[in-house]
């Protein structure tokens, strides 16, 4: 039993099941995330303290890009196979389907990225408090990205150049998350309590949870019509 409505549960478990049977979809964003963070230290000058001061920003940027890239596949297969059409015609509540899709996407992209940020941040010499703030902000930020990204992914699915359009349309929504998320972690590393940033990210998450699933449902109807 979970606290979610049945449609959310079923949609999420369908997303997880189909992804775990074709795990490359999970690994591509994670490999991208890890590769960017592994390569970056080689590209900056060996100035003492420089990397430490920009590390959380780099982790956040890599996470944002990895999640953006994974959003394209969210509705692609269901749209192409006609499954989305059938779900729509079956009278399913598309708002709940949107929440289920977003939750599934977060579990396979945002959550593992946030958890991976802990050992990677530790390897990048971030202190313990900064690591916790980084993971927390990534969890909140990635959940917001999955929710807002799902609506734009639904709107651009099946369009020629839809992948490019998706990245272009999601970035303006994601940049504030990047600014507040990375500055929270940077402030924590300087010993400043990142209360304001965390409240902002929490607010953005609640706002996206309140608005984005309805936008996703509407976007699905537009694309099918």
Partner 1 sequence: MSKPILEVTNISLSRAQNLVVRDLSLSVSGGEILQLSGSNGSGKTTILRALAGLIMPDNGRVARLEEKVGNITTSSNSMVYIGHRHGLEENLSPLENLNFLSQVSTPSPVRDGVSVLGTLGLKTSMHVPTARLSAGQKQRVSLARLLMFDAPLWLLDEPFTALDTSSKKQLENMIDAHLDRKGAVVLATHQKFNCKSHVTNYSLPLIV
If the CB atoms of residues 72 and 197 are measured against partner 1, the closer one turns out to be 72
Q: Exposure string (b/e) for 177-216, b if CB count within 10 Å is 16 or more? A: bbebbbbbbbbbbeeeebeebbebbeebbeebeeebbebb
Tokens 């303006």 identify what position? 172
Q: What is the closest distance, in whole angstroms, from the C-beta atom of residue 17 to partner 1 in the complex?
A: 6
User: What is the closest distance, in whole angstroms, from the C-beta atom of residue 161 to partner 1 in the complex?
Assistant: 17
Does 99 bind partner 1 (CB under 8 A)? Our answer is: no
Q: Which of 18, 34, 26, 104 is nearest to 70 (CA)?
A: 26
24-43 helix and 50-71 helix, angle to the nearest 10 degrees: 150
114: left (phi over 0), alpha (psi -120 to 50) or beta: alpha
- Which region, judged by CB under 8 A, interacts with partner 1, from 31-39, 92-100, 132-140, 145-153? 92-100
Site for partner 1 in 54-73 (CB under 8 A): none
Biggest CA–CA distance in the chain, Å, is: 60
Size of the site for partner 1 (CB under 8 A): 28
Rounded to a whole number of angstroms, the minimum distance from the CB of residue 167 to partner 1 is 25
Binding of residue 6 to partner 1 (CB under 8 A): yes
State the minimum distance, in angstroms, from the CB of residue 21 to partner 1.
4
Query: Is residue 81 involved in binding partner 1 (CB under 8 A)?
Result: yes
Which residues are at the interface with partner 1 (CB under 8 A)? 6-7, 10-11, 14, 17-18, 21-22, 77-78, 80-83, 85-93, 96-97, 224-225
């Amino acid at each position: 039993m979970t606290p979610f409505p049945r449609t959310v549960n079923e949609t999420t478990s369908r997303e997880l099941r189909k992804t775990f049977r074709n795990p490359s979809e999970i690994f591509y964003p994670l490999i991208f995330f890890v590769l960017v963070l592994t390569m970056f230290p080689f590209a900056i000058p060996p100035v003492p303290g420089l990397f430490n001061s920009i590390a959380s920003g780099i982790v956040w940027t890599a996470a944002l890009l990895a999640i953006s890239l994974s959003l394209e596949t969210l509705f692609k297969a269901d749209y192409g196979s006609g499954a989305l059409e059938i779900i729509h015609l079956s009278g399913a509540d598309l708002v709940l389907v949107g929440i289920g899709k977003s939750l599934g996407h977060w579990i396979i992209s945002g959550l593992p990225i946030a958890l991976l940020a802990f050992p990677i941040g530790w390897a990048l010499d971030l202190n313990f408090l900064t690591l916790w703030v980084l993971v927390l902000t990534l969890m909140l930020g990635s959940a917001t990205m999955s929710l807002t990204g799902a609506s734009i992914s639904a709107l651009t699915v099946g369009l020629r150049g839809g992948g490019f359009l998706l990245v272009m349309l999601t970035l303006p929504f994601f940049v504030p998350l990047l600014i507040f998320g990375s500055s929270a972690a940077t402030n924590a590393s300087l010993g400043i309590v990142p209360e304001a940033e965390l409240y902002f990210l929490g607010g953005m998450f609640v706002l996206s949870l309140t608005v984005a699933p309805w936008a996703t449902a509407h976007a699905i109807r537009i694309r099918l019509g």
